[in-house]
Amino acid sequence: MFIEPRLEPKETEGRSGWIEVICGSMFSGKTEELIRRLTRAVIARQKVEIFKPSIDTRYHEQKIVSHAEREIRSTPVGFANDILLLAGDCDVVGIDEAQFFDESIVDVCNHLANSGKRVIVAGLDMDFEGRPFGPMPNLLAVAEFVTKVHAICTQTGELASYSFRLDENNSQVVLGEKDKYEARSRKAFVEGMKKRKK
C-alpha cells in the first residue's frame, strides 16, 4: 500500500522535491490513482499543474479522464520540455501517460523534483509485447516512490500486469480502449502472444 509522503509547509524555502511513479497495465487504475493524489493536493490548497501528451485525445482533448470517468483539468503538451516552461511556481506536477514522451521526460521530472516540486507520474510500464515502454524504466529508476497497480485478467480472473492487443497492428503506440486491448495475467498473455505470432 502506498503511503503518501509528508509534505513540508508551502512557505518552506529550499524544500526537497521527489518523484512518484504509478505504473501498470491498461485498465489497472493508474489514472484513477493519479487523479486521487492530485485532487488531495488541490484540496490542501497546493498549487497543482497537470500535463498529458497532446497525442492522447481518447476521452478529452484537454482533461485527464480515467476509465471510470473521473476527470481533472490538464494541459496537453507536445514535448516533455514544454512542461518546464508551463509548470511555473507550482508545488505539485502531475503527468499522465508518460510512456508517450521521449527520454527527455526523465530529465524534466528530475529537474522539477530538484527544484522542490512533488512530481507524480503515471504510465504503462510495458508495451503490448510485454517489453519496457519508452522512458518508463528510467523513470522508475529515479523515482523515490513507485506504485505498481494491477487490473483483473479478462481471461482468468487473476491479477493482470499485461496489456494484450486484440488486433494485428504491430506499432508500439496505438491509442485505444477495450476495443483494442485486454488486461491479462502472465499466463493468458503468453498464450495470446503465441497465437498472435502463428
CATH number at residue 145: 3.40.50.300
Decide if 121 is inside a domain: yes
Question: What pLDDT is recorded for position 12?
Answer: 39
Q: Smallest Cα–Cα separation from 36: which of 113, 118, 94?
A: 94
Question: What pLDDT is recorded for position 62?
Answer: 61
Question: What single string gives the DSSP state of each residue in 114-150?
Answer: HTT-EEEEEEESB-TTSSB-TTHHHHHHH-SEEEEE-
Decide if 49 is inside a domain: yes
Decide if 173 is inside a domain: no
Question: What pLDDT is recorded for position 16?
Answer: 86
Q: What are the cell numbers at 96?
A: 499522465
Decide if 177 is inside a domain: no
From first to last of its 198 residues, what are the pLDDT tens digits of the chain? 455 555 444 443 567 899 999 999 999 999 999 999 999 999 999 999 999 998 865 554 566 676 666 778 889 999 999 999 999 999 999 999 999 999 999 999 999 999 999 999 999 999 999 999 999 999 999 999 999 999 999 999 999 999 999 888 777 766 556 678 899 999 999 999 998 876
Chain centre distance of CA 163: 14
Decide if 101 is inside a domain: yes
* 97 given a catalytic annotation: yes
Do residues 149 and 24 lie in contact, with contact meaning Cβ atoms separated by under 8 Å? yes
Indicate the number of domains in the chain: 1
Find the domain containing 104 and state its range. Answer: 18-149
Decide if 32 is inside a domain: yes
Decide if 79 is inside a domain: yes
Catalytic-labelled residue, pool 97, 103, 158, 177: 97
Decide if 107 is inside a domain: yes
**pTM higher than 0.95, yes or no?**
no
